[in-house]
Amino acid sequence: MKSYPIKFTPILKERLWGGTKLRDVLGKKIDNDITGESWELSAVPGDVSVVANGQYRGKSLQELIDTYRAALLGKNVSERFGSEFPILIKFIDAKQDLSIQLHPNDELARKRHNSFGKTEMWYIMQADEGSELIVGFNKNVSKEVYSSHLEKNTLTDILNYEKVTEGDTFFINTGKVHAIGAGVLLAEIQQTSDVTYRIYDFNRKDKNGNTRELHTELALDAIDYEKKDDFKVTYTKEKNVSNTMVECPYFTTHYMDVEGHLEHDIAGRDSFSIYMCVEGEAEIATGGITENVKKGETVLIPAAAEMVHLISDKAKLLEVYIG
């Protein structure tokens, strides 16, 4: 396999709650005012990313996996996940509050939907003043207490609200009730899964006057009802090193503040590497090929690569791989 920084064409998603920041802040080519998500790297059936540059231009991510599995994914990753790409990378713009939701764990998702569960993390790229997230409950509750609040339309009374600013990072376990609030632009890294249990949607209606489906019964056995303070990620921001943010069975994410020229050895990783540019711009080179990435762009480095060169006057990157 030819190892080079592979870019993909973003898969843009109109959402009831979407806005214009993916276009206005991240420079995505969008002609509407309600785009909520840019899927940067996806192998979700029906939404598989297509290469936008270089030797493999026009080929889908799944085609690359099927042809070059171990060289692209890494031997360990391919043994764990077969020919499935294990993570989904997105940028999300919430002009309005997203629905309050949660995701089932692997066991439930496999049993009910033949899917992975959905563990995820969020990195806040920009937030309007006063913007918030919902993450978990503000006290321990029981299934009965939760159901009573849901029935009385007072669910928000028992939820935990977190004010956010640029750089804040959150790790969302399966089962944790959560929602992205209005005014937040973020990078999301998650397991490859589109299984979501929506439990409350503020009684909103779409352009056709319909409310969105809720998953009240499915959610009851999937929710973690315990109040936990395990979601806010603390991390260092040392320049020109990989600062660990999240390490979990599904992905590892590092924060990289690049200034100058960094030679980054990834030979022993046995995994593909992903770089999401969340501020500034940088040149990323491997295999003798250089690609420029700017804020809002993402590249994939095949597992066969041994060294990555990162060059920038000033850039902030999220580095993602399977540990």
Q: Where in the sequence numbering do the catalytic residues fall?
A: 198
Question: Residue ranges for the binding site for Zn(2+)?
Answer: 103, 120, 178
Instruction: Give the span between the Cα atoms of 288 and 87, in whole angstroms.
Output: 27
Long-range contacts of 234-241 (CB under 8 A, 24+ apart): 235/169
Where does residue 102 rank: exposed (0-12), middle (13-18), buried (19+ CB within 10 A)?
buried
**Rounded to whole angstroms, what are the CA distances from 186 to 28, 53, 91, 93, 127?**
14, 25, 6, 7, 8
Task: Render the burial of 195-218: b for 16+ CB within 10 Å, e for the rest.
Answer: bebbbbbeeeeeeeeeeeebbeeb
DSSP code of 210?
A: P
Assigned token pair, 315? 């850039």
Q: How far is CA 313 from the centre of its chain?
A: 26
Q: How far is CA 158 from the centre of its chain?
A: 26
Question: Residue ranges for the binding site?
Answer: 103, 120, 178
CB 74 within 8 A of CB 269: yes
Q: Which has the closest alpha carbon to 291: 318, 279, 299, 89?
A: 299
Q: What is the dihedral of CA 315, 127, 121, 225, to 10 degrees?
A: 160
**Rounded to whole angstroms, what are the CA distances from 131 to 16, 33, 94?**
18, 20, 10
Q: What is the DSSP string of 82-149?
A: TTS--EEEEEEEESSPPPEEE---HHHHHHHHSS----EEEEEEEE-TT-EEEEEESS---HHHHHHH
